[in-house]
Chain A
Amino acid sequence: MSASTPTDLATDMPALQAQSLSPSLTVAIAGNPNAGKTSLFNALTGLRQKIGNYPGVTVETKSGVWYLDDRSPVTVVDLPGLYSLNATSIDEQIACDTLVQQGDLPNAPDVIILAIDATNLSRNLYLATQVIELGPPTVIALTMFDLALRDGLEINVPQLSKELGVPVVPVVARRQTGIHALGLAVRNVARADVPRKTIDTSMIRKDQLLNRYQRIDSLLSRVLTRKKSESLCRTERIDAVLTHRILGPLILLAVILFVFQMIFSWANLPMNLIDGAFSWLSHLVRATLPPGVFTDLLADGVIAGVGGVLVFLPQILLLFLFIALLEESGYMARAAFLMDRLMRSVGLDGKAFLPLVMSFACAVPAIMATRTIQTTKDRITTIMIAPFMSCSARLPVYTLMIATCFANQKTLGFISTGALIILAMYLLGIATAVVVAWLLKHSILKAASTPFVMELPIYRIPSVSNVFHTMISRAGLFLKRASTVILAASIVLWALAAFPRTTGTSATEQVSNSYAGRAGRLMEPIIKPLGFDWQIGIGLISSFAARETIVSTLGVVYNVGDAEQSGSLVKAMTNAKRSDGTPMWTPLVGLSLMVFFVLACQCMSTLAVVRRETNSWRWPLFMVSYMLVLAYVGSLVTFQGGRLLGFS
């Protein structure tokens, strides 16, 4: 325990004075993955958190402000988890660099808080003893102390502190227990000015490693009395069901179905409300303001753009509620365990499975969910293939194509052709993702093979506050970072369809004379080999905002008032003729367009989120270009191949 005395509290200064006199402390929380770092970070900083990126890399920084008992602020940085100072990934390297050369960095921490899982001391102490030997001012936070007590672990804390030579403070982050003592300990060690050693982490040798574990084992024989671990027993009993050969995959399937149900139907209600509210607002603007460019910009550009951002919020909140529950409870690692073999066949590991499955609902939250993948190259590969999973925004497009080009057709007399084609589109997306993942993992995202050693943490009841934090911080991040890009893009796309102005004409004429219409005509020679005409070209341009936008654009192009009442649009499309009098929307054209929609990344929200998650424009630009090339080739092969085979 820290040698705190009541006089520490007596030096209580008014907060202002403390801030102005002493430069505020910076504290970094380090520790093994699953050691309770984030719970501790949340307990210290509450909602005063900021999430950012380390310069130039995809690794996330989390920092916040912790007010000590005397109101003096301390900057707290939550470092990525690491098992030793011998880093194997960029995340670990960043944590490691902060710990090893803290003196030289501009934001170097003054004090290190090591989060050490009290229920798993020996492995956690491996990193702890390495850090302590470096010599920075260090305090050990013995996390999950309540669990350790319940498990019948008796830890002689003063003895542990004495032998390690640093203060050891038992904490239960969920109940804010031990935070006060932790604050005192941090302030005490911050005062001491100790010389720091440097170690060459590239030269950790086997004999040093074995020697370290021997010392830890002998230390633990003096400070730890153990009975049989109750939580581990309970975890084993739960695992007997959840990772069972047959039951395990079935339960995972049920969990996935539940999430889909949640995203498709529960999220639908608030999404429709948001949608409705914004179109009401847009109508209101039109009704109150005089007609003109400004009104159009406000109604169709700005309000539609803001609505287009906010409409994702219910899905993001629900999905992160679910992800936080899975991570906090310990089930996420089990899902990765069950699916690892399957994911390995494309060069990824089990952790990529859930984000990819979620991508069938929407790639935006799914890409945000790839944060659980620790290896950066695997994470980027997963992000790059996520948009191939047919998301919910493609469904209206598929439905329109089926209704127009394959109405009431049956295969083998009883199977709906439309259903078969939609299934084929899902499978096409999956197959493309598999191939692209394999190619990426064997070329630009080739990584040195790191061993797959994934901890299976004990099962715990999720903490409400941690789940709440995850949901709020992810939703906040999405709004802050993605909204500007989405809003700007929707205004640009609105302008393309609204200028130049042709007054006194119908909406159809306005669109066909606009820049978008001209671009559609310009594009026609390029997209003609795919079976598309300039009207589809306009639809393709507008669908970059969001895939389903093509439906309303086609509604405007074909001059059928409300495209959402799709009956009239289907009729107009069925009657549409090419210049030579043949029907425009043949089954082959429909198929070609659907293939294009499977493969192209027509979603500015996805690109905005990729930009935010990879911290550069390089990856979103790569994504949109390679997917566009794939879509073009895919459509070309479909249409021309189909024609060669005698279809129309």
Chain B
Amino acid sequence: MNKTNHSTLSALPHGRWATVLNVLGPGFIALRLMEMGLVPGASISVVRTAPLGDPLQIKVRDYQLALRRTEAEMINVSLDSD
């Protein structure tokens, strides 16, 4: 996997799939995010952002969730090659 393909979830181009590398940040927030299924290795994609630029609409593990940018920045992903 190419290092230049790494970014945070917040910077991921919409509609592209990526793989979660790790979730960094305050323990309990990272824990909650991972409990929701955003664990290393999970496939994840950003569908769109809300009209005011925040939060993000995310697709992961057969479901969708809304996530604010501050939390999305804690999630490091690697862009899947198409």
Contacts and interface: CB of A to CB of B under 8 A. Distances in A.
Interface of A: 83-84, 86, 88, 119-123, 126, 204, 206, 209-210, 213, 229, 232, 235-236, 239, 243-246, 248-249, 333, 336-338, 340-342, 344, 350, 449-458
8 contacts: A119-B62, A206-B34, A232-B62, A248-B51, A341-B51, A341-B53, A450-B32, A456-B63
A236 B62 contact: no
A216 to B, nearest CB: 9
Given A341-B55, A453-B66, A243 B39 contact: no
Contacts of A341: 50-55
Q: Which 4 A-B pairs have the closest CB atoms?
A: A341-B52, A456-B64, A123-B37, A84-B35
A643 B39 CA distance: 65
Contacts of A333: 66
Contact of B37 (A204, A213, A243): A213
Interface string B19-41: 00000000011111111110110
Given A213-B37, A243-B48, A451 B68 contact: yes
A452 B71 contact: yes
A455 B64 contact: yes
B54 to A, nearest CB: 5
Nearest to A121: B62
Given A88-B32, A204-B31, A341-B54, A123 B61 contact: yes
B34 A451 contact: no
A141 to B, nearest CB: 19
Contacts of A210: 34, 39-40
Interface in B53-78: 53-55, 57, 61-68, 71
A453 B34 CA distance: 11
A614 to B, nearest CB: 26
Contacts of A342: 52
Q: Helix, strand, loop or mixed for chain B's interface?
A: mixed
Interface residues of B, number: 31
Given A204-B31, A243-B48, A456-B57, A126 B37 contact: yes
A457 B64 CA distance: 7
A149 to B, nearest CB: 15
A452 B34 contact: no
Contact of A452 (B39, B48, B68): B68
A313 B16 CA distance: 49
Given A246-B51, A452-B68, A120 B63 contact: yes
A646 to B, nearest CB: 42
Given A88-B32, A451-B33, A456-B57, A239 B47 contact: yes
B53 A209 contact: no
A305 B13 CA distance: 60
B71 A337 contact: no
B35 A245 contact: no
B52 to A, nearest CB: 4
A340 B55 contact: yes
Nearest to A205: B31
Q: For A229, A235, A245, A246, which residue has the most chain B Cβ atoms within 10 angstroms?
A: A245
Contacts of B66: 333, 336-337, 340, 350, 452-456
B37 A122 contact: yes
Given A248-B51, A337-B50, 15 more contacts: A123-B37, A206-B34, A210-B39, A229-B62, A232-B63, A232-B64, A243-B48, A243-B57, A340-B50, A344-B54, A344-B68, A452-B55, A454-B65, A456-B65, A458-B63
Contacts of A121: 62
Nearest to A330: B64
A195 B64 CA distance: 38
Contacts of A206: 30-31, 34
Contacts of A122: 37, 61-62
B32 A337 contact: no
Given A209-B34, A213-B37, A232-B62, A453 B71 contact: yes
A209 B30 CA distance: 11
A83 B39 CA distance: 15
A204 B36 CA distance: 14
A248 B32 CA distance: 28
Contact of B39 (A209, A337, A457): A209
Q: For B30, B50, B53, which residue has the most chain A Cβ atoms within 10 angstroms?
A: B50
B62 A340 contact: no
Contacts of A245: 48, 51
Given A122-B37, A453-B65, A249 B57 contact: no
Contacts of B39: 209-210, 213
Nearest to A248: B51
Contact of B47 (A88, A236, A454): A236
B19 to A, nearest CB: 13
Contact of B35 (A83, A232, A338, A340): A83
A221 B29 CA distance: 29
A37 to B, nearest CB: 16
Contacts of A239: 47-48, 57, 64
A433 to B, nearest CB: 19
Contact of B50 (A83, A209, A232, A243): A243
B31 A86 contact: yes
B48 to A, nearest CB: 7
B64 to A, nearest CB: 4
